[in-house]
Amino acid sequence: GRLDDIAARGVLRVGSTGDYKPFSYRQTGGGFIGMDVELAGELARSLGVRLELVPTTWPTLMADLGADKFDLALSGVSVTAERRRQALFSVPYLHDGKTPITRCENAARFQTLAQIDRPEVRLIVNPGGTNERFARARAPHARLTVYPDNVTIFGQIVSGAADLMITDAIETRLQQRLHPQLCAVHPEAPFDMAEKAILLPRDAALKTYVDRWLQQRLDNGDVPQRLDRWLAFPWGLESLRQAIDQRLLLAQDVARAKWNAQAAIEDLPREEQVIAAAVRQGRVLGLPEAWIRTVFRAQIDASKTVQRALYERWQAEGAGRFDDAPDLGKTIRPELDRLTTQLLRAMADNQTLLHDGGRQADVVAAMHALQARAINPAAAGQALAPFLSATPSAGE
Ligand SMILES: O=C(O)C(=O)C[C@]1(C(=O)O)C=C[C@@H](O)C=C1
């Protein structure tokens, strides 16, 4: 059976969509995080095997299970009759249901399905899952837009391109925290009842094992506690993490361009420019000048760490010119300037959180995964350091 296969392989393969906070979220260029990802890790540990996350999608979830691409799926999967025809489910670990999320000023207009199921209402939905099924069955008269990106779909409601989405209450709770303009509409009393469970192949022994493992964690309060923690997770730090990561990855291009020009790595006038521009822009956003300086000093130092390590390696290898190096002035520095803006905006958006010493563990977890860590762990540490000390604006 499956359990033997998993033990023999030494690996538990868990399917996850990576697009569904707080259950499963795939960071750009990074790994999977979320409650179900964490649970998957613990399940693997209990089996004494390694976890391998297998990316899947909502439209292909059942086909991927059928094609044996993974041993089970943990991704906030809802129990449905249709899925039950092809697969087993564990005991449920969460009770939920569909409810609207809309701009707060429209919350009163979208309380009931009768209010929503009208041709002038622009309903948006991600394809292939239970949300689309619900929208088509329960609001067939609304003007439906099928929007393929589950991550940016909420921005469509914020911008007014759509009026509302109907999705799992738990997701509306989370997204209203991420987007202050959005309100979950009666998440405590959703339109229907649904359960989240682990999606399993038709293997009775695997189900027995998983159920016993999960039931224990439900009984001792571990799962509800985890859910609270992941609902409060600082998902909004993603843009900050990305800006830092991309800036550090760009240091490799900087180094190649400079190597070709046989230029020195350090360019103090440019450093002054970078910091002065950051201070100018950051002040407008209400950021303390000392914090801006500390953060950008760290980014520049980290960039030099990457560049110096590369120079040393190329010197040792006697490397020649790089044909594919982008132009420093025309291409790379404008890109660095764009990242300056992104980084400052993210600092401003998350200022309270980043100043909150009590949330350091979450901040560390949200920021830790950098692609640049694989290139130069010391540089990644340098770049993140200003965000991982509890009082970023100390001395202001
Ligand atoms: O733009 C460059 O020349 C870089 O090397 C990048 C950078 C930076 O991180 O902004 C790093 C080191 C230099 O001293 C100046 C700037």
Q: For residue 199, is pLDDT > 80?
A: yes
Q: Give the 3-state secondary structure of 18-30.
A: CEECCCEEECCCC
296 CA distance to ligand 1 middle (Å): 11
Is the CB of 304 within 6 Å of ligand 1?
A: yes
Decide which of 128 and 64 is more confident.
64
Asked whether residue 310 is domain-assigned, the answer is: yes
What is the count of structural domains for the chain? 3
Residue 363 domain flag: yes
Q: Give domain status of residue 394, yes or no.
A: no
Same domain for 209 and 73: yes
Most confident of 21-30, 98-107, 150-159: 98-107
271 lines ligand 1 (CB under 6 A): yes
CB 262 within 8 A of CB 244: no
Q: Is the CB of 313 under 6 A from ligand 1?
A: no
Q: Let me know if residue 17 belongs to a domain.
A: yes
Residue 267 Cβ inside 6 Å of ligand 1? The answer reads yes
Q: Do 201 and 216 belong to one domain?
A: yes
Split at pLDDT 50, 70, 90, the class of 393 is: very low
Domain match, 175 and 264 both = no
**Final residue belonging to a domain, choices 213, 231, 249:** 231
Gyration radius from the chain CA atoms: 24
116 and 8 co-located in one domain: no
Which CATH number do you get for residue 376? 1.20.59.10
Residue 155 confidence class, pLDDT cut points 50, 70, 90: very high
What is the structure's pLDDT at 149? 87
- Given this model, what pLDDT does residue 311 score? 98
pLDDT, average across residues 123-149:
95
Task: Output the CA 355–ligand 1 centroid distance in Å.
Answer: 27
pLDDT value of position 361? 86
11: β partners: 50
- Select from 203, 231, 259 the last residue of a domain: 231
- Do 39 and 59 sit in the same domain of this protein? yes
In the structure, what pLDDT confidence band is assigned to residue 394 with cuts at 50, 70 and 90? very low
- Tell me how far apart the alpha carbons of residues 25 and 17 are, in angstroms, rounded to a whole number: 7
- Residue 55 located in a structural domain: yes
**Which residue is closest in CA terms to ligand 1's atom 16?**
271
The dihedral built from the CA positions of residue 328, 329, 335 and 339, taken in this order, carries a sign that is positive
CA of 326 to the centre of ligand 1 (A): 15
Is residue 294 located within the same domain as residue 325? yes
378 shares a domain with 291: yes
| pLDDT, tens digit, 9 for 90 and up, residues 296-349 | 999 999 999 999 999 999 999 999 999 999 999 999 999 999 999 999 999 998
Whether the complex's predicted ipTM surpasses the cut of 0.85 = yes
Residue 360: pLDDT band by 50, 70, 90 thresholds? confident
Say yes or no: 219 and 245 in one domain: no
- Give, for ligand 1, the residue of 253, 262, 267 to mutate: max count of ligand atoms closer than 8 Å to Cβ: 267
Q: What is the pLDDT of residue 392?
A: 46
176 part of a folded domain:
yes
CATH code for position 178: 3.40.190.10
Structural domain boundaries, residue 140: 98-192
Q: How confident is the model at residue 391 (pLDDT cuts 50, 70, 90)?
A: low
**Is the CB of 266 within 6 Å of ligand 1?**
yes
Least Cα distance to 300 among 349, 328, 340 occurs for 340
- Write out pLDDT tens, residues 114-134: 999 999 999 999 998 889 999
For a mutational test of ligand 1's pocket, the pick from 248, 252, 253, 274, i.e. the residue with the most ligand atoms closer than 8 A to its C-beta, is 274
Q: State how beta strands 164-168 and 98-103 pair.
A: antiparallel
- For the residues of 96-151, what is the DSSP string, one character each? E-EEEEEEGGGGGGGSSHHHHSSTT-EEEE-TTSHHHHHHHHH-TTSEEEE-S-TT
Alpha carbon of 269 to ligand 1 centroid (Å): 9
What is the predicted pLDDT for the residue at 44?
98
Q: Is residue 175 within 8 Å of 101, Cβ to Cβ? A: yes
Mean pLDDT over residues 97-104, rounded? 98
Question: Distance (Å, rounded) from C-alpha 102 to C-alpha 109?
Answer: 10
State the average pLDDT for the chain: 94
Whether 32 is covered by a domain: the verdict is yes
In terms of phi and psi (left: phi > 0; alpha: psi -120 to 50; beta: otherwise), the region of 108 is alpha
Q: What is the mean pLDDT of residues 359-388?
A: 92
Does 155 share its domain with 28? no
Are residues 379 and 271 part of one domain? yes
What span, in angstroms and rounded, lies between the C-alpha atoms of 244 and 373? 11
pLDDT, residue 289, reads 97
Query: pLDDT value at position 365?
Result: 86
For residue 201, pLDDT over 80 is answered with yes
CB 270 near ligand 1, within 6 Å: yes
Ligand 1 in reach of 300 Cβ (< 6 A):
yes
For 240-276, the pLDDT digits (tens) are 999 999 999 999 999 999 999 999 999 999 999 999 9
Same domain, 260 and 356: yes
pLDDT, position 36: 98
Q: Do 33 and 365 meet the contact criterion of CB atoms below 8 Å apart?
A: yes
Separation of alpha carbons 246 and 244, rounded Å: 6
- Residue 276 is assigned to a structural domain of this protein: yes
Ligand 1 pocket, residue 336 CB under 6 Å: yes
Domain check: are 173 and 116 in the same one? yes
- What is the pLDDT averaged over residues 158-172? 96
Question: Rounded distance, CA 65 to CA 83, Å?
Answer: 11
